[in-house]
């Protein structure tokens, strides 16, 4: 970054540097160079009064404080003082200083007040009291819930394979996505997001599941429109009872298959658990709603695993079974759902207790004394019902 025109407001210099030293910058180090004229009194004034003052305040407070110049009044006063002094000098030299002018003193006073206010603000909102071992579990849980590049890669890869538009590998974690092979309904959504052109021979989209993709590749993460469109489509069709069953975009909400790692017929349920979060603090009582996706497995009407253990059952090697056996197992599992209600509500209450503990722990780490109470909303929504049978 080369600053060849010194700005009266150092914030503009910082903005320029921020446009280069930002997310996606591949260089491990970004250099910033300041060019000024040795015989230019204006540059000298900017250096002495503005930039060096900004550096001194940043060193003192540990944070960059913007120059308090609303409406440009202080800048105009400084320029007027500089020009007035220039006319009174026999010649313009770098020694021409305006630090002793009233405009410079006003600027320093306003800037000092702003820096003091910033220090007070940092004290109020300080997080220096946070202990890493206290917040790390919440940080890990949040990252796990949100998902990373590996989760996005697995989801997009499996989704497009189901839609007959499988990814074509290029380099490690980079692919070409033939989105034009996907069903028309999803294809229209891709086009609306600019991921697929409408030409007769569209090219595959080059994607990479990493923060810094190679040149010509698009970084795809969990919040990118590509996995978003796929997730929305699958969710909508799964919940639509009129969706055609033979469409690849229609995910089944029930199923039966043989699986490794189990020794008894296992009922695997995909749940949506909703929670009401009530908190009481200085501002009075507040409440919010939260929901989570959960999984729980039963064998012989007894819970055998939940959470990660239950989700892992979806990944077990599977095999198909005869249609007559499949239908009989599904009917039996569906009929037994009513008897599992007490256990489902108990599990939801357990999750509410965990959520309340998480909220309380984070608030205490932040110094808050607000009390939190979390209540599970029942009945629990059963989104999917699947029966796993041991291999014979």
List, for residues 345-389, the tens digit of each pLDDT value: 999 999 999 999 988 887 877 777 778 999 999 999 999 999 999
To the nearest 10°, the Cα dihedral for 311, 316, 319, 321? Answer: -40
DSSP E strands, 108-216: 168-169, 174-177, 205-208
Q: Is the pLDDT of residue 325 over 80?
A: yes
- Output the average pLDDT for the chain: 83
Record the tokens describing residue 317, joined without a space.
Answer: 């090697």
What per-residue confidence (pLDDT) applies to 48? 63
Angle between the 225-239 and 149-162 helix axes, to the nearest 10 degrees? 50
Chain Cα centroid distance, residue 371: 27
Record the tokens describing residue 275, joined without a space.
Answer: 């929670």
Q: Please compute Rg for the chain using Cα positions.
A: 31
Q: What is the mean pLDDT of residues 103-121?
A: 70
Residue 230 buriedness (CB in 10 A; 0-12 / 13-18 / 19+) = buried
CB count in 10 Å sphere of residue 370: 16
What per-residue confidence (pLDDT) applies to 256? 94
Question: Residue 264 and residue 289: Cα distance in Å, rounded?
Answer: 37
DSSP E strands, the chain: 2-3, 33-34, 168-169, 174-177, 205-208, 218-219, 254-259, 266-281, 284-299, 302-306, 318-319, 371-390
Is 185 in contact with 175 (CB distance < 8 Å)?
no
- Of 27-41, 43-57, 243-257, highest mean pLDDT: 243-257
Record the tokens describing residue 164, joined without a space.
Answer: 């007959």
Long-range contacts of 86-95 (CB under 8 A, 24+ apart): 86/41, 92/39, 92/41, 93/39, 93/41, 94/38, 94/39, 94/40, 94/41, 94/44
Q: SS3 of 283, please?
A: coil
Q: Is the pTM of this model over 0.85?
A: no
Backbone angle region of 63, left / alpha / beta, with phi > 0 → left and psi within -120 to 50 → alpha: beta
Question: Residue 83 and residue 119: Cα distance in Å, rounded?
Answer: 34
Q: Is the pLDDT of residue 66 over 70?
A: no
pLDDT tens string 268-300: 999 999 999 998 887 788 999 999 999 999 999
| Range scoring the smallest mean pLDDT among 51-60, 85-94, 227-236, 254-263 | 85-94
């Amino acid at each position: 970054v080369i600053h060849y025109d010194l700005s009266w407001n150092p914030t503009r210099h910082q903005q320029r540097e921020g446009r280069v030293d930002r997310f996606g910058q591949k260089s491990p180090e970004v250099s910033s160079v300041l060019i000024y004229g040795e015989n230019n009194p204006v540059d000298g004034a900017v250096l002495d009064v503005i930039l060096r003052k900004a550096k001194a305040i940043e060193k003192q407070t540990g944070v960059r404080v913007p120059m308090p110049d609303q409406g440009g009044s202080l800048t105009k006063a400084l320029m007027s003082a500089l020009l007035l002094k220039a006319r009174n000098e026999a010649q313009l030299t770098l020694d021409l200083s305006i630090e002793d002018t009233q405009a410079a003193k006003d600027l320093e006073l306003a800037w000092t007040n702003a820096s003091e206010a910033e220090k007070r603000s940092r004290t109020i909102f300080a997080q220096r009291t946070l202990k890493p071992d206290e917040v790390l579990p919440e940080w890990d849980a949040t990252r796990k819930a949100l998902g990373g590049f590996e989760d996005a890669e697995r989801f997009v890869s499996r989704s497009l394979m189901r839609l007959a538009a499988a990814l074509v590998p290029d380099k490690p974690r980079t692919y070409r996505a033939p989105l034009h092979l996907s069903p028309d309904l999803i294809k229209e959504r891709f086009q609306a997001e600019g991921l697929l052109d409408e030409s007769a021979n569209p090219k595959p989209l080059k994607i990479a599941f990493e923060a810094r993709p190679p040149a010509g590749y698009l970084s795809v993460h969990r919040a990118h429109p590509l996995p978003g469109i796929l997730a929305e489509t699958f969710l909508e069709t799964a919940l639509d009872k009129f969706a055609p069953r033979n469409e690849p975009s229609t995910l089944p909400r029930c199923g039966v298959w043989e699986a490794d790692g189990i020794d008894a017929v296992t009922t695997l349920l995909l749940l949506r658990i909703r929670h009401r979060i009530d908190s009481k603090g200085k501002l009075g009582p507040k409440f919010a709603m939260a929901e989570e996706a959960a999984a729980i497995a039963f064998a012989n009407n007894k819970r055998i695993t939940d959470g990660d253990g239950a989700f892992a059952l979806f990944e077990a090697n599977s095999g198909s079974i005869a249609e007559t056996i499949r239908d009989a197992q599904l009917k039996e599992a569906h009929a037994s759902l009513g008897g599992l209600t007490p256990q489902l509500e108990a599990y939801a209450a357990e999750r509410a207790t965990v959520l309340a503990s998480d909220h309380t722990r984070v608030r205490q780490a932040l110094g808050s004394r607000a009390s939190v109470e979390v209540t599970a909303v029942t009945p629990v929504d059963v989104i999917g019902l699947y029966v796993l049978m041991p291999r014979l």
